[in-house]
Chains A and B, each alone.
Chain A
Amino acid sequence: MSLLQSIKNGVRKRSIHVCYVNTGSCNGCDIEILACLSPRYDIEQYGIYVHNNPREADVILVTGGMSPQWIDKLPDLFDRVPEPKAVVTIGNCPISGCVFNRPGCVIDPPVSKYIPVTAAVPGCPPRPTEIINAILSAADELFKNHEEKKEAKK
């Protein structure tokens, strides 16, 4: 591992920029993400910053069970996120649709049909600690030695 790569690893580990996307959730998971920002959990001490702009983000947090309006927009939004990028889905809805997945409903879960999902956090809603753990572990795995992995892929 080169020196530059190790510096990049160190920086990326403590600077994860997050953008959250609500694809038709009930706001329960969004409130749980909001609790991560509060002094009790305080995600900034782990080096996670919230930017609601996909062009600045490293990780997108998807909540909700894919309403029809999002079906073309979510892959589009995912394309705008610069590499290296990760997707963490929060709650049951992106996995199964949970309570919204009933006969006659128009939502179309899972989210992994439309964009590649790195980690999924089950729960209705999940605890803030589970969300932070998922973001940290997924981002660490995915962003480590990104340049070297890209070279190896070529």
Chain B
Amino acid sequence: MSVLSYLKEFLRPSWLKSFFFAKTAPLENPPYFRDFPQITGNECTNCLSCKMICPCQGAIDVIQENGKWMPYITYGHCVRCGYCVEACPEEVLTSGDILDKKRLEGLEFIHEYKVIVDEEACMGCGNCSTACPANREIDPHIGAGGTAMSDDVLMRVERGKNRVLHNDLCKGCKVCMDTCPNKSIHVVRTVQAVQEAYK
């Protein structure tokens, strides 16, 4: 008797329908999902803002193809943080709602360069002060030992050590880092995210 009741239950059309044609949830991403950055078609100026802000190594490269620069995302390295989309001044990349949010809230990345000299390691040879293009623009007569008469230079050798006088002149070329014989000078790029209202 109970078997019959079970059979009756299982042969009910509505049960059969829901059993064989169960509706599966659609495998779709929501519109606000921040996928891998896509190219919008704006012209890339090869400023490398995207590559400098990228926290992952090898995730983004700016490649020249047929005379046009274009960012190229490497899958498997990119973590979809969306910093490159936000940092690009030309809006070359897009991902989810990042660009809309950026325009709405006036988000921006501002950066500055900081020159740090390791006092312990610096031996005052003056290679960095002599090689620095910002220094040479201000004081063309800068000495081979990095001693300068001008007080407006970025850095100069004082009392056998290299001293940084005006950090804001640094353009981040890192020539000083290349010329330093014992790696005692470092150029650090610090980035700050600001909103229009708080500028």
Report the bound CA distance from A1 to B37 in whole Å. 43
Report the bound CA distance from A123 to B76 in whole Å. 6
Footprint of A on B, CB under 8 Å?
A: 22, 24-25, 27-29, 33, 36, 56-58, 75-80
Complex contacts, A101 vs chain B, CB 8 Å: 57
Complex contacts, A98 vs chain B, CB 8 Å: 56, 77, 79
Residue of B22, B29, B33, B79 touching A92 (CB-CB under 8 A): B79
Contact A120 B27 (CB under 8 A): no
Contact A132 to B27, CB < 8 A, known contacts A92-B76, A96-B76, A122-B78: yes
Complex contacts, B29 vs chain A, CB 8 Å: 127, 129
Contact A46 B24 (CB under 8 A): yes
Closest chain B residue, CB of each to CB of A127? B29
Residue of A42, A99, A133 touching B56 (CB-CB under 8 A): A99
A91 CB to closest chain B CB (Å) equals: 9
Report the bound CA distance from A45 to B28 in whole Å. 16
Contact B33 A127 (CB under 8 A): yes
Q: Does A153 contact B (CB under 8 A)?
A: no
| Residue of B22, B33, B78 with highest tally of chain A CB at under 10 A | B78
Contact B58 A96 (CB under 8 A): yes
Report the bound CA distance from A120 to B76 in whole Å. 9
B30 CB to closest chain A CB (Å) equals: 10
A138 CB to closest chain B CB (Å) equals: 14
Complex contacts, A92 vs chain B, CB 8 Å: 76-79
Q: Does A124 contact B (CB under 8 A)?
A: yes
Report the bound CA distance from A133 to B56 in whole Å. 26
